[in-house]
Amino acid sequence: MFKYEKAGKLAGKYTMSDRQEEFVEINKGPKYAEKVGLEHAAVTYRLAWDSILDYPNKYVGPKKCGECHPAQYTQWERSRHRKTVRFTNDIEEVGNDLKKPVYSTAPASILPLGIQAEDVYAIIGTPRTKYGFIDKWLVRGTYHVQDGNLSDLTGTLTAGGNQFSRVWSENITPEVAKKIAEFSPGFPTKMEDFGHSRSTVWGTNSYGSKYAETMMFQPASSYCEICHPFKFNFNTKDEFFAAIGDKEKLEAHTISLGISCEECHGPGAHLYGARGAGMPSNCERCHQRFAYQDDEREPNPRKPFNVYFKSSCPSCGTEGSQMYSSAHYDAGMRCTTCHDPHEVTINDWKDGYTLTGLKKTCADCHETQAEFFKAAGGVHAKDNCTGCHMPNMMSCENFAAIQNPDKGGFDNVRASHIWNIKVSKDEKSINPPAGKDRDPMKVKGWRFERDNNGRFFIDLMWSCGRTSYSDPDLMKPGASGCHSPVQSTLPADLKFTNQEMIYDKVMAWQTPVKEGYDKIKEGLKNVDKAIANNPSLNSTDKSKALLLAKEANEIKKKLEKDGGWGIHGPNYAKRIVDEALVYIEEALNILSGQKTAKK
């Protein structure tokens, strides 16, 4: 980069960063630290137990761990955690040809223009979302080379145009972009419309940079390695520095790639007297990225943290910070309550969506809701709870050009961990700062909204009408595309282009159930009054009435525990409401008949 600059062949300015500002200054870390009397506060990013700059170290690599833990090693080895950092000769999905188009729908290749495999230490990412690169000087690749090659210092080193995007390459073709623009005004349909995220190749965007304007000169040790780790076995820092720029030496001294055993269990784990025995780290290091907001102490003083947003969608790695504000978290649920940390991928890691190894599912705890859902029948019966309660909302790419939270899309590649759906015609999960325009391209500072209990919520557009090309509930074999305006296979009136459409459908389910529930409550009161006002009631009639009222009350409690008011199973909910009303009517008839007989 410096040689290109000296030769006057640099398009765009670079800034240099060791990322210290992001560890201790980002997202109002200093303000929070001052408020609670800390020296520093790592609100968003956390350092690993050891860095690639620590030499000598105790790392032994995952294969050594696998010798005694083969079952866990096998699960990990075929997971995306394993594949998230790879050498250039291990990209099997393209036959290790990093310069050919990955999909027939776009010309984009894994490596951008002017960057060859010999220039690169490792590829970051998998076919699920994106690919970036770390060059052989261990600098994050925020650039490409126009009309030349990095290896011989020809052409112009240009900011941006550096990252392959699956959603843009495979799915959002120019034709699809035009369809989206019909209901999402301003959605980019031409290359120049993508703003700072653009490049000269459809399917390759600018990440960590602004095209031909600005880029970061940032060592991988202070960026990629935090959540996309790799470890070396050099004995000294001098050995390490001597290998920088030599791809073969770096590869030869790499002891592990990807999110491997020692990221959680520590360097060497319990071997060789290593200090990392136990669990010095866990999921939260990479999956609990917060943002501190002073004004959020008001709705929920116990939870004055929001979720980290790079643009107008929550960032990847915020699963834990979303869950932190949920009722599930307060009840003691953590990542490993449901997830098997070794089996983070149970489907083919090359798929465009992820299915995870789970120890528990929603139905294990929410039996009543599962009963309603199972009885629902119809198209929803083949889905599961996550289809509505865990929509893909998070962005891996900071790809603001294709984000529109109001329309539930379109750069949303990771499942939310909020679960709480709010039925509202116009209240939105994600909002810009007060008084700011709702334009993802122009406005920063978006955050999750809170309900009256101070908890984040999922709005109806995200729950039912989102568009996502990596959401299994929309993309896996047999999926209907839910109610996405461009992915759904349902009739036109069930393709939701705005939240109001969904609200009207939900009200059609909920209104008769809620009205019936109110009648059940009133009817049970009338039964109690009738019994109380009839002290001479014979025991046979009284027992019959009480048993009927008990059956009706059980249905009332079931409706309350379900909490969906018809959403989980509209026909079933309406049927048991009618059943309860029949019980009450019969009870009142018995009581009324007793009164008449006495007279």
How does pLDDT run across 323-361, given as a tens digit for each residue? 999 999 999 999 999 999 999 999 999 999 999 999 999
Collapsing DSSP states into helix, strand and coil, what is residue 209?
Answer: strand
Q: Is the pLDDT of residue 77 over 60?
A: yes
Average pLDDT over residues 249-259: 95
Whether the Cβ atoms of residue 429 and residue 392 lie closer than 8 Å to each other: no
% residues pLDDT > 90 (the chain): 79
Place of tokens 């907001």: 293
Tokens found for residue 475: 């993309």
- pLDDT at position 582: 97
Q: According to CATH, what is the number of the domain 503-592?
A: 1.20.140.10
Contact predicate 472/354, CB 8 Å: yes
pLDDT at residue 270, as a whole number? 80
In sequence order, the 6+-apart residues with CB closer than 8 A to the CB of 445 are: 309, 432, 433, 436
Instruction: Please give the mean pLDDT across all residues of the chain.
Output: 92
Look at 18 and 455; give whichever has higher pLDDT: 455
> Could you give the CA distance from residue 286 to residue 316 in angstroms, rounded to a whole number?
9
Write down the pLDDT at residue 316: 93
**Arithmetic mean of pLDDT, 361-382:** 85
Q: What is the mean pLDDT of residues 173-187?
A: 95
pLDDT of the residue at 137? 95
Confidence class of residue 596 from pLDDT cuts 50, 70 and 90? very low
β-strands 163-165, 156-159: how paired?
unpaired
What does the pLDDT average to over 149-153? Answer: 95
| pLDDT band with cut points at 50, 70 and 90 for residue 17 | confident
Q: Taking the alpha carbons of 127, 133, 134, 136 in that order, is the dihedral positive or negative?
A: positive
The C-alpha angle with vertex 199 and arms to 223 and 230, in degrees rounded to 5, equals 25
Per-residue HEC secondary structure of 493-514 comes to HHCCCCHHHHHHHHHHHHHHHH
Residue 377 is predicted with a pLDDT of 66
**Sequence letter at residue 333:** M
Between strands 156-159 and 143-146, the pairing is antiparallel
The pLDDT of residue 54: 85
Instruction: Give me the mean pLDDT over the 179-202 stretch.
Output: 95
- Confidence bin at 379 (pLDDT 50/70/90): low
Residues with Cβ within 8 Å of 92's Cβ and at least 6 positions away in sequence, in order, are: none
Spatial contact of 145 and 113, defined as CB atoms under 8 Å apart: yes
Question: Which of 322-336, 364-378, 407-421 is predicted with the least confidence, judged by mean pLDDT?
Answer: 364-378
Higher pLDDT, 18 or 98: 98
296 band by pLDDT with thresholds 50, 70 and 90: confident
| Cis peptide, bond prior to residue 56, ω within 30 of zero | yes
Span 505-520, average pLDDT: 97
How far is it, in rounded angstroms, from Cα 217 to Cα 501?
Answer: 47
Instruction: State residue 597's pLDDT score.
Output: 42
Domain locations along the chain: 79-228, 303-497, 503-592
Q: Which region among 273-282, 416-425, 476-485 has the lowest average model confidence (pLDDT)?
A: 273-282
Q: How many CA atoms lie within 13 A of 7 on its CB side?
A: 11
> Containing H/E element for 145?
strand 143-146
**For residues 11 and 208, which has the higher predicted lDDT (pLDDT)?**
11
Single pTM value for the model: 0.93
pLDDT digits 0-9 by tens, 263-284? 888 888 788 665 555 677 889 9
The conformation of residue 395, written as its DSSP 8-state character, comes to: B
pLDDT tens-digit map of 209-235: 999 999 988 888 877 788 899 999 999
Residue 330: the pLDDT is 96
Run of H or E residues at 328: helix 327-330
What mean pLDDT comes out for the span 247-254?
Answer: 97
Question: What distance in Å separates the CA atoms of residue 469 and residue 477, rounded to the nearest whole number?
Answer: 13
pLDDT of residue 275: 57
Least confident of 165-179, 297-311, 431-445, 510-524: 297-311
Instruction: Report pLDDT for 277.
Output: 56
Among 92, 86, 130, 78, residue whose Cα is nearest residue 355: 78
Is residue 181 within 8 Å of 144, Cβ to Cβ? Answer: no
Q: What is the mean pLDDT of residues 44-71?
A: 88
